Amino acid sequence: MTRFPRLLRALMGVAALALLAVACGDSTTDTTSPTTASNRASSSTTTAAVVSTTEGRTAPHSHHDPIEVPEGTPVPTLRVEVLEDPKSGYNLRLDTTNFTFAPEHVSTDPVPGEGHAHLYIDGEKITRLYGPWYNLPELTPGTHEIRVELSNNNHAPVAHNGRIIEDTAIVEVPGADDGSTSATEAATVDYEFSVEFADGDVVGGVSRHKVDLGSTVKLTITSDVADEAHLHVYDQMVDLEPGVPAELVFRADIPGVVEIELEGLGKPLMEFEIR
């Protein structure tokens, strides 16, 4: 027992080293949470190849620390859309506000409200984007995640409230021999609910609904504030514009009680009791 402290000190050294080693990988602030199963997210699509936008939710990763939008500067927004090219392949369209593409200033000092964007496909960085349109390279059949991050002139991601401003679109590229699956997947909706959020509260209070396991639920959300609705556990998101009803469709295949909430405000909207 007399050697105890020396040994212990050695151990602490090991611990500290391990800690440091891991710490180097570090600390991009990120918006991300485990990948969304966004192929479930939308049944609004009937054809095979398409596109549902969800907030970016996969592993991040730029090599720079994000830079917060300074107080008082309008916060840029970004929406990513993937459109099928009439001939072949896909085109990417970025819809930005409060943000100017400034390829002429790239790799210089950051200026709030200007910069470029970074394109990631399935987590892999593909290229810089210097403008709102881009023709995507050939995509293999299957599901692909197209993610775009707004970037400052110095390549540091643009962030607001600790979250990188980014958006993700999911593209389903039909395979040679599958054509059938997606079309039939446009499932019938078993339950339809709607909820309205106004003046800081859910109109009529937060309600709880019993839902049979395995059924498809369609929820229409209207909010008087811009936010994002998050269905916990299923981890599905939908963006909300003030006054514009948004739809969220999910297959209730996980039993238990789950809640959908306004992610930004942290207010619950509705609960589902799935059994």
Partner 1 sequence: MILAHGIGARADLPISPVALAWGATVALVISFGALGAMWREPRLATEAAGRPAPAWADRLVRWSVWPARVVALLLYGETLGAALFGSRFDVLNLSPFMIFVGLWVMVPMIQAVLGDIWSDVNPLDQLAVVAERLGDRLGIRRDRSFSHWPAVVTISGFLWLELAYHSPSQPRILGWLMVLYTAIVVGPAVVWGRNWSRRADGFAVYFGLVAHIAPLFRSGGRLHLRRPFSGLGRVEIRPGTTALLLVTLGGTTFDGFSRTSIWRKLVVERAGWGVTAVNTLGAAWVIGMVALIYLYASRRARRHLQTDLRPEDVFASSLIPIALGYGIAHYFSLAVFEGQNLLIRLSDPYGSGIDLFGTSGWKVNFLLVSTATIAWVQVGAIVFGHLAAVVAAHDRALEVSADVDDATRSQHAMLGVMVAYTITGLFLLLGA
Residue choice 48, 206, 225, 246 for contact with partner 1 (CB under 8 A): 206
By CB under 8 A, is residue 74 in contact with partner 1? no
Piece in contact with partner 1 (CB under 8 A), picked from 46-54, 136-144, 170-178, 202-210: 202-210
Using the minimum distance from each CB to partner 1, give the nearer residue, 31 or 96.
31
By CB under 8 A, is residue 176 in contact with partner 1? no
Kindly write out the interface string for residues 253-272 of this chain, putting x where it contacts partner 1 by CB under 8 A and - elsewhere. Answer: -xxxxxx-x---xxxx----
Q: In the bound complex, what is the minimum distance in angstroms from residue 60's beta carbon to partner 1?
A: 7
Using the minimum distance from each CB to partner 1, give the nearer residue, 142 or 268.
268
Residue choice 36, 230, 240, 270 for contact with partner 1 (CB under 8 A): 230
- DSSP notation for the chain: -TTHHHHHHHHHHHHHHHHHHHHHH--------SPP-GGGT-----SSS-EEEE---S----SS--EEPPTTSPPPEEEEEEEE-SSSSEEEEEEEES-EE-GGGTTS---TTEEEEEEEETTEEEEEE-SSEEEPPP--SEEEEEEEEEE-TTSPBEEETTEE-EEEEEEEE--SS-SHHHHHHSPPP-EEEEEEEETTEETT--EEEEE-TT-EEEEEEEESS-EEEEETTTTEEEEEBTTB-EEEEEE--S-EEEEEEETTTTEEEEEEEE-
Q: In the bound complex, what is the minimum distance in angstroms from residue 263's beta carbon to partner 1?
A: 8
By CB under 8 A, is residue 233 in contact with partner 1? yes
Q: Report the sign of the C-alpha dihedral through residues 187, 189, 190, 191, in that order.
A: positive
By CB under 8 A, is residue 15 in contact with partner 1? yes
Residue choice 44, 46, 59, 242 for contact with partner 1 (CB under 8 A): 59
Piece in contact with partner 1 (CB under 8 A), picked from 6-14, 71-79, 188-196, 244-252: 6-14
> What is the C-alpha to C-alpha distance for residues 134 and 273, in angstroms, rounded to an integer?
43
Read off φ and ψ for residue 177, nearest 5 degrees: -115, 15
Kindly write out the interface string for residues 130-169 of this chain, putting x where it contacts partner 1 by CB under 8 A and - elsewhere. Answer: --------------------------------xx------
Q: In the bound complex, what is the minimum distance in angstroms from residue 20's beta carbon to partner 1?
A: 8
Task: Tell me the chain's radius of gyration from C-alpha atoms.
Answer: 22
By CB under 8 A, is residue 203 in contact with partner 1? no
The terminus-to-terminus CA distance of the chain in angstroms comes to 57
Site size with partner 1, rule: CB under 8 A = 50
Judged by the rule CB under 8 A, the positions of this chain that interact with partner 1 are: 4-5, 8-9, 11-12, 14-16, 18-19, 22-23, 25-34, 59-61, 162-163, 200-202, 205-206, 208, 230, 232-233, 254-259, 261, 265-268, 273, 275
